[in-house]
């Protein structure tokens, strides 16, 4: 397969050289051009037709946000990865760029004078994202073929961004029915990563302001960004959205987003859950990690957990989703066609831990129905229903908890 062709856009000569050196050192990637501002970049896109673009936020003549908007208006759907610094201003601009159509972002090295550390930071953060976003080698935004049992799925990227060999045939998603079903859910837990800000916004917008349970979220984001992200969502949806702090008692109708660089765990507190934050070891190369959150909600709420895994690279959330299902809870995942990267939700679906695989446009509504549906005592999923679940298409609505 031909290497992934990348256009590097940044007004800093040092950063352009740094990114070019890192990317050129990977045999699967070719830097086909560079540009010092968005206006020059637009001309080079037409001439070079790259597979992906790395784009600085702040540049003269035309900044990164306007460049993304211009690309999308022109119908250019190649992945665009923003380069941002860890400041409140840059966090706001990066979220603006994601709203405008950017695919993902990485943070710039804090000290470009430390060449070795800077090279490694860019290499470890940028290359996996380029490979994950370009791995399917199809333009971003074109719907992918729905996965049905027997058809197989596109290889999901590993945490390092490398897809499995083409000869390995991944299993088709096997849906699982929830065990039992006599008591209502008490919490909604959500995990997401690449493409998650847009997907999470759509999910939360579908939930009512008087939601009867709290919502806890891990979105892979660095510090500073999560606070800005929570504030932005709080203005956009009916629910109250905050960045989680330690010791908060969870309240219905409130959304708690894990802060960057901290794991979020939910611990028992009388009849409710309570937030705990820590900087324990990374899991799945992530902190916060979805698996950490999912394990903790199972420990606190047992079988009364409803969870959703949205678009994202890697497989964070897979083990936690299996724990939720083993305890009798429910997991729904975003489908491949509407995911920017079908890594995390695909890993959960392929592990047999998803009851439903739904497009993001209907996933939030499906969660709302489950969270407002009255309980029917004694309702149980039969063995026949389980057998039917194993052979139903992923978008089929499975017997749900009532």
Active site residues: 193, 220, 316
In the chain, the largest separation of any two C-alpha atoms, in whole Å, equals: 67
- Say how many C-beta atoms besides its own lie within 10 A of residue 285's C-beta: 14
Q: What stretches of 101-242 show up as alpha helix (H) in DSSP?
A: 115-134, 196-205, 225-236
Backbone phi and psi for residue 30, each to the nearest 5 degrees, phi listed first: -130, 125
The beta strands (E) that lie in 311-352 are given as: 330-334
How many Å apart are CA 175 and CA 28, to the nearest integer? 35
Question: For residues 360 and 66, what is the distance between their CA atoms, to the nearest angstrom?
Answer: 26
* Closest to 30 in 3D by CA, of 56, 59, 6, 54: 6
Q: How far apart are CA 130 and CA 32, in angstroms?
A: 14
Beta pairing partners, 278:
263
| 3-class DSSP state of 85 | coil
- Of 360, 334, 304, nearest to 173 by C-alpha is 334
Tell me the CA distances in angstroms from 107 to 61, 69, 316, one per residue in order. Answer: 22, 21, 20
Q: Which residues pair with 191 in a beta bridge?
A: 218, 309
Strand (E) positions, 90-226? 104-107, 187-192, 215-219
């Amino acid at each position: 397969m031909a290497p992934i062709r990348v256009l590097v856009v940044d007004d800093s000569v040092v950063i352009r050289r740094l990114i070019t050196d890192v990317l050129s050192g990977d045999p699967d990637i070719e830097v086909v051009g560079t540009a010092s501002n968005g206006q020059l970049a637009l001309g080079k896109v037409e001439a070079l037709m790259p597979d992906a673009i790395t784009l600085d936020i702040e540049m003269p003549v035309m900044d990164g946000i306007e460049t993304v908007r211009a690309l999308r208006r022109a119908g250019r759907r190649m992945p665009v990865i923003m380069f941002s610094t860890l400041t409140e201003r840059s966090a706001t601009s990066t979220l603006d760029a994601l709203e405008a159509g950017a695919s993902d972002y990485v943070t710039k090295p804090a000290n470009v004078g430390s060449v070795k550390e800077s090279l490694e930071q860019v290499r470890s953060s940028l290359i996996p994202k380029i490979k994950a976003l370009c791995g399917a080698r199809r333009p971003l935004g074109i719907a992918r073929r729905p996965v049905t049992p027997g058809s197989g799925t596109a290889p999901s990227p590993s945490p390092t961004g490398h897809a499995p060999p083409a000869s390995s045939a991944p299993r088709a998603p096997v849906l699982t029915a929830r065990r039992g079903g006599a008591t209502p859910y008490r919490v909604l837990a959500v995990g997401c990563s690449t493409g998650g800000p847009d997907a999470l916004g759509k999910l939360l917008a579908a939930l009512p302001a008087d939601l009867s349970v709290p919502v806890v979220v891990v979105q892979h984001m660095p510090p500073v960004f999560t606070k800005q992200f929570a504030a932005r969502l709080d203005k956009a949806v009916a629910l109250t959205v905050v960045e989680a702090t330690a010791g908060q008692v969870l309240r219905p109708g409130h959304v708690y987003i894990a802060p960057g660089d901290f794991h979020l765990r939910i611990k028992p507190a009388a009849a409710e859950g309570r937030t705990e934050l820590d900087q324990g070891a990374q899991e799945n190369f992530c902190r916060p990690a979805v698996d950490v959150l999912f394990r903790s909600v199972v420990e606190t709420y047992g079988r009364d957990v409803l969870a959703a895994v949205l678009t994202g690279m890697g497989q964070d959330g897979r083990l936690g989703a299996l724990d939720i299902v083993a305890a009798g809870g429910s997991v729904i995942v975003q489908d491949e066609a509407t995911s920017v990267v079908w890594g995390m939700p695909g890993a959960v679906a392929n592990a047999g831990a998803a009851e439903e695989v739904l497009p993001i446009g209907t996933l939030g509504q499906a969660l709302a129905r489950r969270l407002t549906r009255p309980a029917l005592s004694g309702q149980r999923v039969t063995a026949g229903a389980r057998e039917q679940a194993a052979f139903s298409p992923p978008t089929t609505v499975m017997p749900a908890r009532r």
